């Protein structure tokens, strides 16, 4: 009886031990060894013969470029190249079982300071005692930045300013810019409960000024090719956006954006055609160059037209719903511009092209739209939707956009999906529309 009892205990212990011990996955082990071996050698005929079936080899020949018939070109598919891009040395290889004899392999390589991931699904087959790769289905590779988000030393532009970010030891981020000899700064503190969100506050022990004191919440958007820092007020309205992707100077970026808002075909009050392009103004067929005039590196909205046409001189440009009003100005000894009294009203002259098309082309973080009347802002905001084919319920909006040949409403508004840039511009305009009139500076007549 005692022997039987001991036998039962021994059997129970064996069963428990067997249950606790991991069951080896030969297919997973094979792939781990296969990839490790592959990173250390070229793919000669013996390697191909040992690891790939004729079915897999035929697939590779049909779908991927080869250096020669030896199999060396398998590296193009397996490890360090895709589309003839050198993706660096192997970082690690992750093998995950999908179902019986089918595995997903994620190959990760070092690409500069970043990591490149390339997934492929493989089906294995047993040939005698050995595993071989029988079929394969590559996925889509992607590049993963080593330091996603706000990095130390990164630059972020808004209007004519460019802020530099400094990541502190406590993971807070300080932003600093200079304008007219005045330091501007603020600090972001990560929101631990919400990814890519921050609390915006004062920079401790700094002499600078925080221009965004009314926007306590910040959100990082890093998608669709954009890297943007969106600043929201207490009500959740988007007030400002800093652009982390601008590769030119903030001043040049601001000039380009303002120039884009001036471009178009117009008709003067006397009936003369006026064409404003990037660097020229043509009046009644006479072209003359112009330049943007700055004050302390800020866009003043004043252009200096030189050359032989009747608009030669310095003009302040003010946008309006129907076009542009030019005010002749003179410069004082301090570099400030003052209106002289003469003005030119230019009316938009294109029925086939949206008046506010620029709101679909770039981010409105130069702030020029803030000088428009709220009635014009409403049209500008809805023009973004109209260019996506939105069918308006408000009769005045439907009547307004229906008179333009470029407007083509679609059958269902459910199919209207503004892209990220358009959506952010809509939110910026909405926030400006919500501001009290007493807090706004409007130049539109």
- Parallel, antiparallel or unpaired: strands 114-127 and 130-138: antiparallel
Residues of the chain under the 70 pLDDT cut: 1-25, 38-44, 63-89, 111-114, 143-148
pLDDT of residue 405: 97
pLDDT of residue 145: 59
pLDDT of residue 87: 58
CA distance 37 to 179: 58
Orientation of helix 420-433 relative to helix 374-386, angle to 10°: 160
CB 243 within 8 A of CB 228: yes
DSSP 362: S
pTM above 0.85?
A: no
Smallest CA-to-CA distance from 140 within 162, 168, 166, 121 is with 121
pLDDT of residue 26: 82
Beta strands in 128-257 (DSSP E): 130-138, 142-144, 155-158, 161-167, 173-179, 182-190, 197-201, 217-223, 226-232, 238-243
Could you please report the per-residue DSSP string of 225-288? Answer: TEEEEEEE-TTS-EEEEEES---S-HHHHHHHHHHHHH-EEEE-TTS-EEEE-SSEEEETTEEE
pLDDT of residue 76: 44
């Amino acid at each position: 009886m005692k022997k039987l009892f001991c036998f039962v205990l021994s059997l129970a212990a064996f069963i428990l031990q067997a249950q606790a011990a991991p069951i080896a996955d030969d297919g997973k082990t094979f792939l781990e060894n296969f990839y490790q071996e592959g990173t250390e050698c070229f793919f000669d005929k013996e390697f191909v013969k040992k690891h790939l079936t004729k079915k897999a080899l035929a697939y590779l020949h049909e779908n991927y470029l080869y250096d020669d018939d030896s199999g060396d070109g398998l590296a193009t598919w397996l490890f360090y190249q895709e589309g003839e891009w050198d993706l660096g040395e192997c970082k690690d290889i992750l093998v995950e079982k999908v179902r019986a004899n089918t595995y997903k392999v994620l190959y990760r390589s070092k690409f500069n300071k970043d990591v490149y991931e390339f997934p492929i699904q493989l089906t294995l087959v047993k040939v005698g005692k050995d595993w071989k790769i029988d079929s394969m289905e590559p996925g889509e590779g992607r590049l993963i930045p080593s330091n996603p988000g706000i990095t130390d030393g990164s630059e972020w532009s808004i209007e004519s300013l460019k802020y530099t970010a400094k990541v502190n030891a406590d993971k807070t981020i300080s932003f600093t810019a200079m304008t007219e000899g005045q330091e501007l700064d603020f600090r972001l503190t990560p929101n631990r409960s919400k990814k890519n969100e921050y609390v915006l506050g004062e920079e401790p022990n700094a002499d600078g000024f925080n221009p965004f004191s009314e926007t306590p919440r910040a959100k990082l958007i890093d998608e669709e090719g954009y890297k943007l820092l969106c600043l929201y007020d207490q009500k959740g309205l988007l007030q400002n956006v800093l652009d982390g992707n601008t590769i030119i100077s903030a001043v040049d970026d601001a000039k380009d954006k303002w120039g884009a808002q001036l471009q178009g075909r117009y008709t003067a009050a006397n009936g003369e055609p006026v064409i404003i392009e990037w660097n020229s103004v043509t009046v009644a067929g006479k072209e003359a160059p112009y330049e943007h005039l700055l004050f302390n590196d800020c866009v003043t909205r004043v252009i200096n037209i030189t050359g032989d046409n009747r608009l030669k001189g310095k003009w302040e440009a003010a946008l309006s719903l129907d076009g542009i009003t030019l005010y002749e100005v003179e410069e004082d000894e301090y570099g400030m511009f003052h209106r002289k009294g003469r003005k030119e009203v230019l009316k938009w002259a294109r029925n086939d092209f949206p008046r506010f098309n620029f709101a679909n082309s770039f981010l409105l973080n130069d702030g020029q739209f803030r000088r428009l009347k709220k009635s014009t802002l409403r049209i500008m905001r809805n023009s973004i939707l109209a260019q996506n084919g939105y069918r308006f319920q408000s009769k005045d909006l439907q009547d307004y956009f229906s008179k333009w040949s470029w407007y083509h409403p679609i059958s269902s508004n459910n199919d209207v999906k503004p892209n990220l840039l358009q959506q952010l511009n809509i939110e910026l305009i909405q926030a400006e529309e919500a501001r009290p009139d007493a807090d706004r500076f409007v130049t539109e007549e």
